[in-house]
A and B are shown apart, each in its own frame.
Chain A
């Protein structure tokens, strides 16, 4: 039974990855590339100690982003605003961290707190709009992403929060060594695994615990499965929307921290990556909002991103990795739905069979 369950939950993602490999193989073949060589060089490059470290670091960021999205998904809230939330949260946290000169045990928690608070506040705007004004969070969070960009740009260019971080690049004050989480040379002597990976793991554990072991988590899941049943069970749906959105935004606020606290230039600059939120949506779908599934999804995604660097050198368009990622997400959504329907159907059948068996053995 449990083996069956594990197989069931693995079937969809494995099918999706396999399917996308087939699609990419066909594309490569059509372009006349040596398919085996391409995959081989990706695998060789992707498993070098430096690449693996980069993969873990990138996966750390992706993981936090995907968990932020997944919390929304769990109750049918679509937080597309992770981008804006982490950029604003990261910028404020970096600015505060840059201005602190305290020991790490004090400075780092303050930094994390600021990131959470700002991310949550930004998501809170969308939550308020939804609850008080009925504005779909999909629309409002997209809009808030743009507003966040503009706000950050304004603050860094026109206020004295910003300074010249390097030539032609403006950013926040550089975070002093005390306030960083640079991590450890676990796999490679030349590059460190981000210290924030611990926080990410903690977020994963907390996510699982809150969702599956607390009344609040139950209320959240119930709201996602059926708003009407949840509300009849005593869940205040508006309050739930606000809380879920605040938590999602709070976690989203931390998405930028692995990079900010673990890598040069230790400053939130105007060219800080701006697409982690969307990657998070894809990974949450891939990992089916499950903390372990998301971890695998984040690692897979990061592996593809990192190992794709070799493709330009191999004269293969690196877009094939983007295609592959896109196909994986599409295929996995379809596959999960098929598996879900299959499960519902097969359970009904199993129950039917088991009962008939009982009856016939009784008579």
Chain B
């Protein structure tokens, strides 16, 4: 295996922006038919490197060699011609087209100007079988889940003749069983001689799939590890990345009080067609308690959160601090101490094309320091934003830049900082550390723990089962809109939880292997 020819060779790559160095002396060789992971903190220079490799930016110095030939990419289309394909973190698919139409979009096989779908279908069916990428070609993309969409993106790239795949944070949006499916597909691809560049900062996943790992820190390649010949642990990698130990989300000591802060009974959310998304769910959260909800995405977590925030219609009774607040508007809930870290920060958490300080107001625009209830107080809001940026280590040159200019992790830190700054009594946190690098993750966990100690009640939803187990005082498993099991975070393992989430095993209490 070590003798496999080199598919991609980057030598001495430098990329300087005026007065700044984004990549300094990057050296990387990727063997054909291997999965090569590139890990590094947010802002370490992974993106710049991938943009260079995909022809979106030109290096100032250094050479790119593809399969032994030195190349100079003027644009992504040059890179595509050289057999490089990129699967972005955010899928670029048209919902109202079929899978087939999406894949061939832009390179439709035509005969005298007429699209020949059959030709494409034949080739794609063959490709799909060859690489074990199973997708329903005639379904509409809107009907498909995240995992299938990702497979479509990969097929799209392969269809265009790529032999080198760049996957940018491919597992960020997937649930455990989908990750497994992806990894098995990647193995098939590898076996067929496809080379895969895998960008991630989930170290355990990287360790599970990669053949080689290259660590990037502050723009330079720090180390490359061949997993077949060298032993390396997640902690070792983390140390290489940040120069510190990998944090754990473990909560020490219970702070649960006997004061019931949130009492939800018979909560139901229906689709327009009357199908239940959340089906008669009841639970209580005490002050100082973190209630974790485990579940495969799309089983009603998002709807529970939205219903508690009052953003969507629901039935049932919500008692907050002894008062029935089922009829309260979203605004009143927020004013009275609901904090909200949404699952999809682009959709619910940020105004992308607005300054950071105006984003600091979002959700708290009626409260100090943002306003006096009627008039905005921009000066106060700005100074408070500067404080958040400082305390939560939001990496930004100033607070006037658009939120869209920040990396995902820094956006998340801003949101967490904002929500914690209003001293919430009840926090709805969906994937609070999604897309955040290890250092910041630990900081967010610390903030949550501190708030919990002072009596914060938290409803936590996370796809990161370690995080869920580590932070929660109680865990409930949600399947098809219903709680199907409780788990004790002190004893349950991620594997057991994962099994319960997919509904394979149904037990009232898991984790207690009595």
Contacts and interface: CB of A to CB of B under 8 A. Distances in A.
Given A213-B375, A232-B349, A344-B404, A360 B361 contact: no
Interface in A333-354: 340, 343-344, 347-354
A314 B429 CA distance: 70
Contact of B401 (A340, A347, A363): A347
A288 to B, nearest CB: 13
Contacts of A218: 358, 361, 365, 371, 376
Interface string B463-474: 000000000000
B373 interface: yes
Contact of B374 (A215, A236, A352): A215
A311 interface: no
Given A232-B342, A351-B401, A356-B43, A225 B353 contact: yes
Interface string B320-364: 000000000111111100001010000111111110001001111
B152 to A, nearest CB: 25
Categorize the interface residue count of chain B. 35 or more
A356 B363 contact: no
Interface residues of A, number: 39
Contacts of B218: 359-360, 363
B402 interface: yes
Given A218-B376, A226-B347, A350 B331 contact: no
B20 A356 contact: yes
A352 B401 CA distance: 12
**Secondary structure type dominating chain A contacts:** helix
B366 interface: yes
Contacts of B17: 349, 352-353, 356
B489 to A, nearest CB: 28
Interface string B451-494: 00000000000000000000000000000000000000000000
A219 interface: yes
B343 to A, nearest CB: 11
A352 B334 CA distance: 33
Interface in A1-24: 1
A353 B426 CA distance: 38
A236 B312 CA distance: 11
A229 B351 contact: yes
B404 A359 contact: no
B329 A232 contact: no
A213 B376 CA distance: 5
B406 interface: yes
B405 interface: yes
Contact of B376 (A215, A231, A232): A215
Nearest to A361: B20
Contact of B397 (A212, A215, A354, A363): A354
Contacts of B288: none
Nearest to A219: B365
Contacts of A228: 347-348
A234 B20 contact: no
A233 interface: yes
27 contacts: A214-B376, A215-B373, A215-B375, A218-B365, A219-B365, A221-B354, A222-B351, A225-B354, A226-B351, A226-B352, A229-B347, A229-B350, A229-B362, A232-B330, A232-B348, A232-B349, A234-B330, A234-B334, A343-B402, A350-B397, A350-B405, A354-B396, A355-B43, A355-B395, A356-B43, A356-B45, A357-B20
Interface of B: 17-22, 43, 45, 48, 218-219, 309, 311, 329-335, 340, 342, 347-354, 358, 361-366, 371, 373-376, 378, 395-397, 400-402, 404-406
